């Protein structure tokens, strides 16, 4: 810390010079000492990088939870695409087996059961249609992978992409619910609605609640340098500072 900074924040040691020209800087959030280069700021807080803390840190945790949920989608669509590819590869053999089984089932009481209906649908399958479904599954996996990676990295454009992609799937999910209600379908719809509401309202997308400018002003209040330095941890005694210098 420069002499001017010592005078400005008396009794608060925020950095220790190292023999190699670097420094140990004191984290203003967790009170850990981190080896880092000396910034060319001459003690001017305006030129220093801001630590992620407060609302920004809390929201990043939620965004990364959404990214993990998107990662599960990636796995699901990849498995689905692989299953469809395997189905297409073995479709001729499966159709032959179905043609052999159906006459036997028709001679029994189970001729109209679930297995019989499934075999009839298998015979009606078109190989090109199966490949199209596999390609769509791969496309969805790629889309969800982009969301997952860049949401994890905290990119705002990925939040917009997630909102648009999630909203686009809502009509399909509603149609599926109309065709047949299940716990899994209801949970999926509710999860997507919660994600949509959180991103639009909390992250202030599409100009909601003042948009990005209002969000940045609110985040900046959590990293005000004067407030951070005034609450910075003070060393208990000189021995603690000396010990930190040997880390």
Tokens of 44: 């001017």
Q: How far apart are CA 206 and CA 200, in angstroms?
A: 7
128: pLDDT confidence band, cut at 50, 70 and 90? confident
Tell me if 170 sits within 8 A of 192, measured CB to CB.
yes
pLDDT tens, residue by residue, 58-115: 899 999 999 999 999 999 999 999 988 877 776 666 666 666 666 666 656 554 566 6
Convert the pLDDT of each residue in 14-66 to its tens digit.
778 888 878 888 776 677 788 888 766 555 656 666 667 778 888 999 999 99
CB 235 within 8 A of CB 13: yes
The residue among 158 and 85 whose pLDDT is bigger is 158
Give the residue-averaged pLDDT of 151-174.
93
The upper half-sphere exposure of residue 189, i.e. CA atoms within 13 Å in the direction of its Cβ, equals: 15
Per-residue confidence (pLDDT) for residue 26, from 0 to 100? 77
pLDDT of residue 228: 65
Per DSSP, the three-state class of 220 is helix
Convert the pLDDT of each residue in 173-212 to its tens digit. Answer: 898 888 888 888 899 899 999 999 999 999 999 999 998 8
Q: Are 222 and 54 in contact (CB under 8 A)?
A: yes
């Amino acid at each position: 810390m420069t002499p001017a900074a010592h005078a400005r924040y008396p009794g608060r040691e925020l950095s220790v010079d190292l023999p190699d020209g670097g420094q140990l800087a004191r984290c203003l959030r967790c009170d850990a000492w981190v080896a880092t280069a000396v910034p060319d700021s001459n003690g001017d807080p305006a030129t220093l990088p801001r630590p992620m803390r407060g609302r920004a840190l809390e929201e990043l945790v939620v965004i990364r939870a959404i990214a993990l949920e998107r990662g599960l989608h990636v796995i699901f669509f990849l498995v689905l695409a692989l299953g469809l590819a395997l189905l297409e590869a073995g479709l001729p053999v499966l159709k032959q087996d179905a043609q052999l089984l159906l006459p036997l089932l028709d001679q029994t009481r189970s001729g109209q059961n679930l297995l019989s209906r499934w075999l009839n649908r298998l015979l009606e399958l078109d190989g090109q249609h199966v490949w199209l479904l596999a390609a769509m599954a791969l496309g969805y996996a790629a889309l969800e992978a982009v969301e997952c990676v860049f949401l994890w990295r905290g990119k705002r454009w990925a939040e917009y992409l997630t909102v648009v992609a999630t909203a686009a799937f809502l009509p399909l999910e509603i149609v599926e619910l109309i065709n047949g209600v299940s716990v899994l379908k209801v949970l999926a719809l509710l999860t997507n609605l919660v994600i949509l509401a959180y991103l639009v309202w909390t992250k202030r997308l599409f100009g909601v609640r003042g948009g990005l400018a209002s969000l940045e002003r609110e985040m900046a209040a959590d990293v005000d340098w004067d407030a951070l330095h005034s609450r910075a941890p003070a060393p208990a005694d000189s021995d603690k500072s000396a010990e930190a210098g040997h880390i």
